[in-house]
Structure 1
Amino acid sequence: MAKQHLLLVVLVASILHATASSLETTSSASNSTVAAAASTVYDVLEQNNLPRGLLPQGVQSYVLHDGGALEVTLPGECNFFVSVAGKRFHFRYGSSVAGVIQSGSISRVSGVRVQAGFAWLGFNQVQRAGDQLNIQLEKSTQSFPVSAFAQSPRCS
């Protein structure tokens, strides 16, 4: 009787172990499918209806957390210009950029500044409105055509 009881315990433990291993494999497979669907951070932007040019070329790595928190690592500080209607806007990205991405917007942006006149202003949010990107600066909002960010700029 004791042997049968011990055999039953071992059998139940084996079944539980096999089930847990199967769930881990399924979970890993579904995670890799999500990663494969968005193999680059530029894909993540496009899947969220945002232009890839919001990030410069040369991204070293990125992490997309549950809830949309996005962390991007660049090789170093990155400077580039965007020209719109005869005005040049100087963008400066730090080596680490972050925000919370959702369809059509990135909020809680950090690590990015725009030169407005003589001041460098951080911006808090990028929101797509049709063919326009509205970038909420510290004290104002600046609109850009989406086409201004169609291609990822090169850092200077």
Structure 2
Amino acid sequence: MCHGQQHVLVAIALMAASILQGVSSTAITTAKLPGYAVTTAYDVLAQNNLPRGLFPLGIQSYELNAGGAFEVTLPGECNFFVTVAEKPIKFRFDSSVSGTIKSGSLSRLSGAKILVEFALRGFNQVNRAGNLLNFHLENSIIRSFPASAFAQSANCSGLEPTASLHL
């Protein structure tokens, strides 16, 4: 190999090393940013100290921005039940649910409802308080449920609850 070819190979090797170093430092920086290692909307909930079962199964897509604003897309309207103290509680999510997530809370929620006193009422906030989840409904009503009731995601259906739906 002639002297000129050695210089070209050394230059290529140095460029490759420089590129790889830049890629690896970028990867390290990216890994430190919240949300980049997250793969699903359920992971986003868990990463923010919220139970995965706050979202039903069947999420088609989700978007999450750096400020915590999110949008979850379901195949259609989703009705599901969560059993608390042997009593089924009905939830309904629209095909699109949006809000803001931060550690221990969902806020500015839209597209989510809960059956209270024979009427579906929207809730715009969920806060974790120890082992409880506080759902903030319209008219300043707060309903509290054990976080453990939302440990697993429920299936969407229009069916009435059965014993197999206990969470």
TM-score higher than 0.5: yes
CA distance in 2, matches of 1:49, 1:87: 25
Greater fraction helix = 1
2:80 counterpart letter in structure 1:
F
Report what 2:143 is aligned to. Answer: 142
SS at match of 1:37: coil
Superposed, 1:1-156 pairs within 5 Å as 26=26, 30=30, 36-139=36-139, 140-156=141-157
Q: Is the 8 A contact 2:35 2:44 kept in 1?
A: no
Identical amino acids, percent of aligned pairs: 59
SS at match of 2:89: strand
CA distance in 1, matches of 2:116, 2:154: 19
CA distance in 2, matches of 1:35, 1:132: 25
Long gaps (5+) in structure 1: 1-21
The structural deviation recorded for 1:141 is 0.3
Length-normalised TM-score, structure 1: 0.78
SS at match of 2:39: coil
The structural deviation recorded for 1:124 is 1.0
What is the CA deviation profile of residues 42-85 of structure 1, one whole-angstrom value per residue up to 9, with x for unaligned ones? 11000000000000011000000121001100011110111212
CA distance in 1, matches of 2:65, 2:39: 14
1:38 counterpart letter in structure 2:
V
The structural deviation recorded for 1:35 is 5.2
CA distance in 1, matches of 2:44, 2:100: 12
Long gaps (5+) in structure 2: 1-21, 158-167
**35 and 124 in structure 1: CA distance in 2 versus 1, 3 angstrom threshold:** closer
What is the CA deviation profile of residues 95-139 of structure 1, one whole-angstrom value per residue up to 9, with x for unaligned ones? 000110000000001111111122110001000001000001112
What is the CA deviation profile of residues 12-55 of structure 1, one whole-angstrom value per residue up to 9, with x for unaligned ones? xxxxxxxxxx79x949x828x75551011111000000000000
Most deviating of 112-121 and 80-89: 80-89
Number of aligned residues? 135
CA distance in 1, matches of 2:124, 2:35: 27
